Amino acid sequence: MTSMSEMTYRDALNLALKEEMRRDPSVVLWGEDVALYEGSFKVTRGLLAEFGEERVRDTPISENTIVGVAVGAAMGGLRPVAELMTVNFALLAMDQIINHMAKIRYMFGGQTYLPMVVRMPGGGGSQLAAQHSQSLESYFMHCPGLHIAYPSTPADAKGLLKSAIRDNNPVIFLEHELLYNSKGEVPDDPDFLVPFGRANVVRTGTDVTIVAYARMSILALQAAAELEKEGISCEVIDLRTLCPLDTETFIASARRTGRAVVVEECWRTAGLGGDIAHRIHEACFDSLLAPVRRVAGLDVPMPYSRKIEKICIPQAETIADAVREVVSRKS
Amino acid sequence: METRLRAALPDQELLKLYEQMVLSREFEESCAEQYTKGHITGFLHLYSGQEAVAVGATAGLHKDDYILSAYREHAQAIVRGADPRRVMAELFGKSTGICKGKGGSMHLFDPDLNFMGGYAIVGGQFPIAVGLAFAAKYRQEDRIAACFFGDGAVNQGNFHESLNWARLWELPVLFICENNFYGIGTEVHRSSALASIHKRTCGYDIPSEKVDGMDVIAVYKAIKHAAEKVRETSHPYFIEAVTYRFRGHSMADPAKYRSAAEHEIWKSRDPIPALGKELVAEGITSSDHLAEIRDKCLVVVQEAVKFAEESPWPEDSEVYNDIYV
Ligand SMILES: Cc1ncc(C[n+]2csc(CCOP(=O)(O)OP(=O)(O)O)c2C)c(N)n1
Ligand SMILES: [Mg+2]
């Protein structure tokens, strides 16, 4: 039996950072307010005290340079972990992320590699309005050259972040702001890693496959529990990493259940769910009993008022409705 | 007897600077020919006229120092020691190229030479140079990062963010602005509120100097001094080298925005004959020997073209390699 401790998603991330910094002196960390202030979401609490000013550094409010300095440091033999205060501000760093971080290894003929992580909290649901509530995972996923992780549980948060830091590829590490306080059992083993590219079947079922990630997996599980009462058996797949994407797991599942719902928090148009739904259609066409349904964020800028913000983000009920519709369809 | 050159460097080193400038020039002129023939495609930005900057600066740096540049970087790579054959093969898009034909003219790279890349997003190299300098300092390596860029790049946000950051974190970065007066067709006075570029660093408390970028000895001395300062203090330093490109921005640019008179004035300051004349005047060498150096460089360039022509294209399967480790 592996020993476990209960902790929050935030503390699991914090522990992952601490363990990896203890393990490897080439791991360095910087971002806006990460040192003295201990992070705007307190993920970096205690790091400055333990590792000192050389390794835990506050930066100017210069997002593109926060990422670019990490690119250079990674090329120079370090394993930087850069924090962008939220994913929304990553848009100011898109030049370094897309044009540099994702391209350098390729355009230089494989002569270098970038063992670096860019962490960023994101997602909506906190009444922060249009500029602070975005889900931009599809933006990153569109671009080859990046690994992308987006954990849903404290255990995955720890195991995926540790894998990200040890990965020799550049990693976009997304964290959901509404999950920071969620609790769960986390293995104590300092070498506990969650490998990239392996989805987690978080609930097995026979009638329908729900493909989700991050907070959407949590909502999908809530929907599945509700649907069980109605006699609908859902299999819920948490992707864990968006790149590499574990297509095999969700395709095998959809082939078995014959029905699938894909849930994404980002905008529907050109969102990652369209790609996943298409992959299922292509691979499982003969086994499908209904077209794959998508549940996605509404194609609107996020409004502030909580009454109308709610309808812009997938909820457990909207996921359940989509499942009911897919299941009710006669083959 | 005038001894400006001998006061700066031993004879052999002076002749090497001359040879490196000639090789750079001949390489670029050959690239222009190969572009016209259709062997080189895509964007091709030539360095002719600016040789004194790359050659003088490289001589003023240590071999362990990192060098980064923009997309007009053939000379910086070759002077650092990149094999001209593999650089030409890269421009031809061949598998023997320095980046396997995946980077092309704008993305030369050779980590064994600490040549950390040509970057084609204007100003993209700034934070990367800062990061390399951070890594060097953190790992207690005795090296600095020398970052080349143009006059156009100083109006990028990256420039200001990186200068501030390098000074704030006290990082060993030597910023080298090659002011050739134009960003494509836009003259400095039409893009910079303060056209005297080196003065712009005062907002970041970074010492700066302007140097004649058509004089290889002046560049060498300024960079050597600046690099020593950076090494000693681990503070950034800034050099503006004033220079001129003899060709258009790229092969696609006939440079109609510049007057013939302006061009002629700068042509008359061509850094290669200028050094040649001084070498002969100081009795360091003869004009016959200078001609021999040129012939030798022409052979190197011809061999590079031959190598590139005879090299195989990349395999189709190569497209999927080197995206991830
Ligand atoms: C971010 C970005 N904007 C615009 C361009 C297009 N562009 C390529 S070179 C150039 C001019 C740059 O001038 P300068 O920095 O003076 O360098 P030079 O070409 O004179 O060597 C421009 C605008 C680009 N490559 N990247
Ligand atoms: Mg210019």
Return the pLDDT at A1: 66
Residue A147 lies in a domain: yes
Of B145, B321, B325, the CB nearest to A168: B325
Question: If you take atom 20 of ligand 1, which residue's CA is the nearest one?
Answer: B183
CB A272 within 8 A of CB A264: yes
- What number does the ligand 1 atom closest to the CA of A95 have? 1
Name the closest residue on chain B to residue A68, using Cα atoms.
B127
- Average pLDDT estimate for A49-70: 98
Name the closest residue on chain A to residue B167, using Cα atoms.
A60
Same domain for A139 and A53: yes
Same domain for A170 and A49: yes
Same domain for A208 and A310: yes
Q: For residue B43, give both structure tokens.
A: 């964007």
User: CA-CA distance, A4 to A76, in Å (whole number)?
Assistant: 37
Give me the interface pTM, i.e. the ipTM: 0.97
CB B301 within 8 A of CB B27: yes
User: CA-CA distance, B158 to A96, in Å (whole number)?
Assistant: 10
- Strands A4-8, A56-58: pairing is unpaired
Q: Which of B70, B95, B88 is nearest to B322 (CA)?
A: B95
Cis peptide before B84 (omega within 30 of 0): no
User: CA-CA distance, B40 to B13, in Å (whole number)?
Assistant: 33
Q: Which phi-psi region, left, alpha or beta, contains residue B85 (left: φ > 0; alpha: ψ -120 to 50)? A: alpha
Q: For residue A11, give both structure tokens.
A: 């503390």
Q: What is the mean pLDDT of chain A?
A: 98
Domain boundary among A187, A211, A229: A187
What are the tens digits of pLDDT across the range B245-261?
Answer: 999 999 999 999 999 99
Most informative mutation of B184, B187, B200, B250 for ligand 1 (most atoms within 8 A of CB): B184
Give me the domain span that covers residue A209.
Answer: 200-328
Return the pLDDT at A2: 84
Residue A220 lies in a domain: yes
Same domain for A285 and A178: no
Measured between beta carbons, which residues in chain A are less than 8 angstroms from residue B98?
A: 109
Domain boundary among A155, A187, A219: A187
Look at residue A222 and give its three-state secondary structure.
helix
User: CA-CA distance, B165 to B172, in Å (whole number)?
Assistant: 11
User: CA-CA distance, B273 to B270, in Å (whole number)?
Assistant: 6
Same domain for A287 and A183: no
What are the tens digits of pLDDT across the range A174-189?
Answer: 999 999 999 999 999 9
**CA-based nearest distance B142→chain A, Å:** 13
- Strands B115-118, A183-187: pairing is unpaired
Q: For residue B142, give both structure tokens.
A: 């005795």
- Indicate yes or no: CB of B132 within 8 angstroms of CB of A72: yes
CATH, residue A148: 3.40.50.970
Same domain for A167 and A297: no
Same domain for A225 and A181: no
For the packed helices B216-233 and B271-281, what is the interaxial angle rounded to 10 degrees? 100
- Average pLDDT estimate for A293-316: 98
Kindly report the number of other CB atoms within 10 A of residue A286's CB atom: 7
User: CA-CA distance, B263 to B29, in Å (whole number)?
Assistant: 17
What are the tens digits of pLDDT across the range B174-204?
Answer: 999 999 999 999 999 999 999 999 999 999 9
Q: Which of B320, B325, B309, B322 is nearest to B94 (CA)?
A: B309
Structural domains of chain B, with CATH: 4-306 (3.40.50.970)
Look at residue A284 and give its three-state secondary structure.
helix
Same domain for A310 and A176: no
Mutation target to probe the B interface, by most B beta carbons within 10 A, among A53, A69, A91, A166 is A69
Sequence letter at residue A197? G
User: CA-CA distance, B173 to B176, in Å (whole number)?
Assistant: 9
Domain boundary among A187, A215, A236: A187
Q: Which residues of chain B have pLDDT under 50?
A: none
- Average pLDDT estimate for A127-149: 98
- Indicate yes or no: CB of A68 within 8 angstroms of CB of B107: no
Same domain for A81 and A177: yes
pLDDT band at A152; cut points 50, 70, 90: very high
- Residues recorded for chain A: 331
Return the pLDDT at A331: 60
Same domain for A148 and A227: no
Residue A77 lies in a domain: yes
Residue A192 lies in a domain: no
- Residue A96 CB partners (closer than 8 Å, separation 6+): A64, A65, A67, A68, A71, B124, B127
Residue A208 lies in a domain: yes
| CA atoms within 13 Å, Cβ hemisphere of A271 | 20
CB A83 within 8 A of CB A120: yes
Same domain for A272 and A323: yes
Q: For chain A, what is the domain count?
A: 2
Name the closest residue on chain A to residue B159, using Cα atoms.
A65
Residue A315 lies in a domain: yes
Residue A115 lies in a domain: yes
Same domain for A213 and A183: no
CATH, residue A252: 3.40.50.920
Return the pLDDT at B209: 98
Residue A71 lies in a domain: yes
Place of tokens 């003899």: B246
Q: For residue A227, give both structure tokens.
A: 């649907």
